Structure 1
């Protein structure tokens, strides 16, 4: 594998970890995967920061093994620049379909890949 493929694969692995309810329920685990400058615009239109995401993540949908969990599909990525990967994909959470775009940034030293930005857009029923 080449370096670009390795970087995209590492960002995808991080994205999949953030969908794992056990990771979502743990502020400590989630903190390792979110960049300190993290920002998200959620499907509801709400803006999330690193602090608000870590505070609320254990309580939002997809954070319990006893409830619907994220089912990702069509995940792909591209290396935008050294240390910067853009991912796009869709998820199902119960009957809610959402399109996602996220940017992963490689941290210094042992920090590894962390989600820097995320945008989610809900897809209304009947839309291709």
Structure 2
């Protein structure tokens, strides 16, 4: 395994953690995974900032044990530059599919990998 593989694996681990309802329901576990300059364009088309996500996510249905779960598939990653990883994958949540893209960056060893940008695009029913 190369250093680049380790970086991609750490970003994937962070991405999967952010889909875990236990992490999503805990600000203490969720907050360290987001970069303070985080921005998301959700599948709804809405734009979210770091502060928006910290305020919104614990009340999101995906943050409760009985809420919908995001089932990821085909996760791929590439190191774009030192300290910057791009992930792409697809999720299914109760029959709603989305194609997703995330940028993870590491500014220092102390802060570790954090999601810097995320975008979700809905996949219409029947689309490949």
Residue 49 (structure 2) aligns with: 49
Structure 1 residue 61, shift from structure 2 partner: 3.2
Q: Which runs of 5+ in 1 are unaligned?
A: none
Q: 2:83 is matched with which residue?
A: 83
Rounded to whole Å, the distance in 1 between the matches of 2:50 and 2:25 is 15
Q: Please list every run of at least 4 consecutive aligned residues from structure 1 whose deviation after the TM superposition is greater than 2 angstroms.
A: none
Paired residue total: 128
Distance in 2 of aligned mates of 1:6 and 1:109: 13
Q: CA deviation at 1:49?
A: 0.2
Secondary structure in 2 matching 1:126: coil
Report the counterpart of residue 115 of structure 1 in structure 2. 115
Gaps spanning 5+ residues in structure 2: where?
none
Shift of 1:63: 1.3
In the alignment, the residues of structure 2 paired with residue 85 and residue 61 of structure 1 have an alpha-carbon distance, to the nearest angstrom, of: 28
Distance (whole Å) between structure 2 residues aligned to residue 86 and residue 4 of structure 1: 12
User: RMSD value over aligned CA atoms?
Assistant: 0.8
Q: Tell me the TM-score normalised to structure 1 length.
A: 0.97
Alignment-derived partner of residue 94 in structure 1: 94
